[in-house]
Amino acid sequence: VSDLGRTGPRSGLRITGAHHLGRTVDVRAVDGVIVALGPDLPEVVGDRVLDARGLALLPGLVNGHTHAAMTLLRSFGDDLHLMPWLEERIWPAEARLTDDDVYWATRLAALEMIRSGTVHFVDMYWHATAVGRAAADAGLRATVSQVLIDGGPRAETPRVDALEASASASLDALSDLGPLVTPSLGPHAVYTVSPRSLERLGRLAEDRRVAVHIHVSETSAEVEDCVAATGLRPPELLDRHGLLGPRTVAAHCCWLDDEELDLLATRGVTAVTNPVSNLKLAAGTFPWERAARAGVAVALGTDGTASNNALDLLADTKVLALVHKAASGDPTVLPAEEAWRTATGAASPLLGGARVEVGAPADLVLVDTDRPEMVPGPLLENLVYAASGSVVDSVVVAGAVVMEHGHVEGAAEVLAEVRARAERIRDGA
């Protein structure tokens, strides 16, 4: 369809009567971008209208680290140590997954994230093309990577060429999935990828100018093993192979010393903390205050639903604030506004963080402020300390309404598909 011959302005989305920063405003979005914001905007014939009277307008949340399709393994193998949990429960079940399993499990994750106000998630998983297709079909933004492993630093013959070829093919496939999907590389961790492959993937990331999503220093054992196998701590090893930069998403980062935090800050890495996963697996605690002093960009993630076990990033925002108050013995640490900034990705130049202003992507949530837990009091403090994701009424991603007053298109089909598939995966059939 050509723009030639169009007579009127292009149609878009009009959000009417929302509360924003103490006033009542309308928002107009065209082609996924906010083009007007203010009181009583003139109506445009052909616009879709979202009635937001009584709702608060906010930027959407950004889930900086997850494995969305693990919804199929939700609450599977709880209450185990990290390595037996991975080796005895998760990895054998994952080996049974098909493209379609991953597609529907990611649709379920997208449904849960949309309902709790997430507009963008950063994912690493098997069958990544199916993850990307599911995100695009759900209307959610996603930075998607295929998990890359080759046996790790102790493998005698790591599959270096095959790994690089599959990484490259995955980037190609993910590039075809439309504007909501951003391809990235997902070397799993320093204990599952050999230094030779890390070097290749560092070069590939540079050539293709894509983000690198990797688990870094999640447990103390991981750090000790890395030193024993390579003579280097994980951040040094990654830096040596060009894998620490402004397009790096480093998940967890629980066991970093001050020098390593300085290195992450200097390289412009985004560290993604996953407080609920770290608490559940007793993996460690992100060094919030030391990271802040070093100037590290920090975002918030849920991790997968086998280690959280939900994708409600707003609920995790409260945990983030509470964990670091408790750990520091200081209730003034991580105030609500800082927790909210972290949860919306605003503290990470890479993840961008949605802004409610003309020219910004129309990635917005509308919150029901008539919910009992939202009354009375200031909005941000209530969102962080009183609310969970269930206060979200409507969600807009790239100017498209993906939840309207609690309704998400296709939800029943998604639930049925995942229920039917979960039994086979979990029982080993």
Q: Which residues bind Zn ion (CB under 5 A)?
A: 303
Strand 33-38 relative to strand 61-66, pairing: unpaired
Question: Distance between CA 155 and CA 159 in Å, rounded?
Answer: 9
Nearer to Zn ion, 72 or 387 (CB): 72
| Strand stretches in 2-98, DSSP E | 13-20, 23-30, 33-38, 48-51, 55-59, 61-66
Question: Distance between CA 331 and CA 114 in Å, rounded?
Answer: 31
Nearer to Zn ion, 26 or 123 (CB): 123
Task: For the CB of residue 253, give the shortest distance to Zn ion in the complex, in Å.
Answer: 12
Task: For the CB of residue 218, give the shortest distance to Zn ion in the complex, in Å.
Answer: 8
Ordered alpha helix ranges (H), 95-193: 99-115, 128-138, 160-175
Nearer to Zn ion, 303 or 393 (CB): 303
Task: For the CB of residue 188, give the shortest distance to Zn ion in the complex, in Å.
Answer: 9
Nearer to Zn ion, 60 or 301 (CB): 301
Closest to 64 in 3D by CA, of 337, 253, 227, 238? 253
Nearer to Zn ion, 26 or 303 (CB): 303
Task: For the CB of residue 419, give the shortest distance to Zn ion in the complex, in Å.
Answer: 24
Residue type, 160: V
Task: For the CB of residue 226, give the shortest distance to Zn ion in the complex, in Å.
Answer: 17
Contacts of 333 (CB under 8 A, 6+ apart): 288, 289, 324, 325
- Which residue, judged by CB position, is nearest to Zn ion in the bound state? 303
Task: For the CB of residue 96, give the shortest distance to Zn ion in the complex, in Å.
Answer: 20
Neighbours of 393 (CB within 10 A): 21
Nearer to Zn ion, 192 or 388 (CB): 192
Torsion of CA 34, 37, 42, 48, to 10 degrees: 40
